Structure 1
Amino acid sequence: MSEQSALNLLDRINGTISVVGSMNADYTVTTDRLPGPGETVNGGALQILPGGKSGNQAAAAAKIGAHVQMFGAVGSDDNAVFLINNLDNAGVDTSHIRRVLGPSGTTVITVDAHGENTIVYSPGSNAQVSVEYVESMREVLGKSKVLGLCLESPMETVTACAKMCHEMGITVLLNNSPFVPSLPPELVAAADVLLVNEHEMAQMLGIDEPSDGDWNAFDWHMAAEHMQKYGFERAIVTLGAEGSMVLDSTSDEPVKRIQPVKVNAVDTTGSGDAFMGTVLAGLSSGLSLHESASLASYVAAYAAAGYGAQASYGTAAQIRKAFEG
């Protein structure tokens, strides 16, 4: 798909999405290089930025034009107000977020000069996103076309939410991150589309990665067959700076390569979530999985050119301007 064709898909984003999961305050510091075990390195000024995989995905989808409802829990600290205000500013409906006692979720992120990062996650209030809470939101969740889930919330809640929404005819997109090699069978059965990176895919399916690291020569048809046997007929496998692969056994083209979008990356912290949020937006707006992934490459690349997660996300107009010149 050409650049212009992919960017024109932004005009079609208008679907309704529910995202259930995590919101975190990201404590971020930049360094020349990531420290090794037991090592101290000098860093720049500490920044506190809005994050959390689910919050990021919701913000990315809303900023490009989707109608997004966020479900989850924030604490009783100052970070709670900070997180909700930032989602509000991105255009996300935050009216169903639960307030609980205690700290909100946090992450500690170190970013090096090449844009690579390390992340330590503390769940805080995210651990209190309960099955009971999700079930109490059934009627509101039922108004969405697509549900976005990741694994920063309790597994029983993610599974219950996926089952409930799948039974209501809502498309369920699962981001297996933070990565779990063996997903509960009930969750696999209820999820319609899986999003993972190449290393997660190989570990999850029990297949060998290419010894030379060349994923271009990898047998993706074999991977698609293994993915289907695992329980996912449709999946997207992200390849970092090398683009992504769409594995869709329901399509005439069960394997399709999505070319990368090259930018001067400064921080990849929120790029994966921007990709996920765009796929949610695309699927909810009637785009195919291939079209959604193609557009997601541009939205994620735009995010990689800025610092932070939600702070680096662009509107449809900003993304168009960046790539069309």
Structure 2
Amino acid sequence: MPKLVVVGSINMDLVALAPRFPAPGETLSGERFATFPGGKGANQAVAASRLGAEVVMVGCVGSDLFGRDLVAGLNKEGVDTRHVHTIEGVASGVACITVSGAENNIIVIAGANHALTPEHVAAAEAEIAAADVVLTQLEVPLAVVAATAALAKKHGVPLILNPAPAVHLPPALLDEVSYLTPNEHELSIVMDAGSTPFPDMLERLPGKVVMTKGEHGAYHVAADGTFVHQPGFTVSAVDTTGAGDTFNAALATYLPLGLKPAMRMACAAAALSVTRLGAQGGMPQQDELDAFLKDVS
């Protein structure tokens, strides 16, 4: 069982289903509303736990009903929440999500996630030192990501950074990251590359980037310059929310097997995740992923 530490956001997702996305200034009648536990960090922690990893979550929630529900949900999923901190007088993070067809628009309000500090990460140093992989994202302060990367490097633990929401990253941080996992749009922002074709962007960071491209799968340029493409898997999509988080969780969970098999498992897990509603609701169990891969092999 691989050991993962996930440092990142914990949100409540407020999801509205609609026949289409409203135009600016328009009031549109929706079809359905639901709340789901979310946040990139929590999503990735849950997805990895369902795939058989032993997961420690490092993050913050508010002292509100959402916060209590979010921690209880993580515990129910088998995630170790000893390093999930409740911040008094602060609201838990939320994501307002509109879903139309298989596409979504998302507004994230950080709340307690921005109260996560490098000191919180330092308190989890023993868990990071014992991990097989550390996984983080950009829905928490960049100083927290930098502290996480420094500790992972100190202990020789591979670190995966999912750069979302994307910002231009300092070279010193990129040097400490083992794998960067953007989509094509995020990669362009991270590298300040404008309209540069993605193969050229990948070649600028050989061995470092695993880029996702939706139904087309994932791409990587190895340290020796070899171009690697893992095709996506064909499924009937219901809700794409959380597909990227599932990909990252699976990549981290299976990384000890090697990057290429991990990319295949990650693409398959992400494909399965879009066949059900909700970011965490669609994340597969390990036996579901095994059965899916057996059917498509």
- Whether these two folds match at TM > 0.5 is yes
Give me the CA root mean square deviation: 1.7
1:242 aligned to 2:216?
yes
Offset, 1:206: 4.4
Percent identity over the alignment? 32
Corresponding position of 1:140: 127
1:195 aligned to 2:213?
no
Offset, 1:324: 4.4
SS of the aligned residue for 2:241 comes to coil
Offset, 1:204: 3.3
Q: Name structure 1 gaps, 5 residues minimum.
A: 1-13, 211-217
1:277 aligned to 2:249?
yes
Corresponding position of 2:263: 293
**What is the distance in 1 between the residues matched to 2:205 and 2:149?**
19
**What is the distance in 1 between the residues matched to 2:157 and 2:133?**
5
* Change in 2 beyond 3 A, CA 1:261/1:301: same
2:62 partner amino acid? G
Offset, 1:41: 1.6
Offset, 1:144: 0.6
Aligned pairs, number: 294
Map of 1:225-264 to 2, 5 A cutoff? 225-228=203-206, 233-249=207-223, 254-264=226-236
SS of the aligned residue for 1:95 comes to strand
* Change in 2 beyond 3 A, CA 1:203/1:157: closer
Offset, 1:62: 0.7
**What is the distance in 2 between the residues matched to 1:139 and 1:193?**
22
SS of the aligned residue for 2:21 comes to coil
- Contact persistence 2:251–2:263 (CA under 8 A): yes
**What is the distance in 2 between the residues matched to 1:22 and 1:208?**
28
**What is the distance in 2 between the residues matched to 1:54 and 1:162?**
15
Corresponding position of 1:311: 281
Corresponding position of 1:204: 190
1:83 partner amino acid? L
* Change in 2 beyond 3 A, CA 1:219/1:199: closer
SS of the aligned residue for 2:188 comes to helix
- Contact persistence 1:159–1:186 (CA under 8 A): no
1:256 partner amino acid? V
Corresponding position of 1:8: none
Offset, 1:77: 0.6
1:246 partner amino acid? H
**What is the distance in 2 between the residues matched to 1:97 and 1:322?**
33
- Contact persistence 1:163–1:186 (CA under 8 A): no
Q: Name structure 2 gaps, 5 residues minimum.
A: none
User: Among 6, 12, 16, which residue is 2:3 paired with?
Assistant: 16
Structure with larger RCO (C-alpha < 8 A, sep 6+): 1
* Change in 2 beyond 3 A, CA 1:219/1:73: closer
* Change in 2 beyond 3 A, CA 1:64/1:160: same
Offset, 1:205: 3.2
- Contact persistence 1:243–1:258 (CA under 8 A): yes
Corresponding position of 1:111: 99
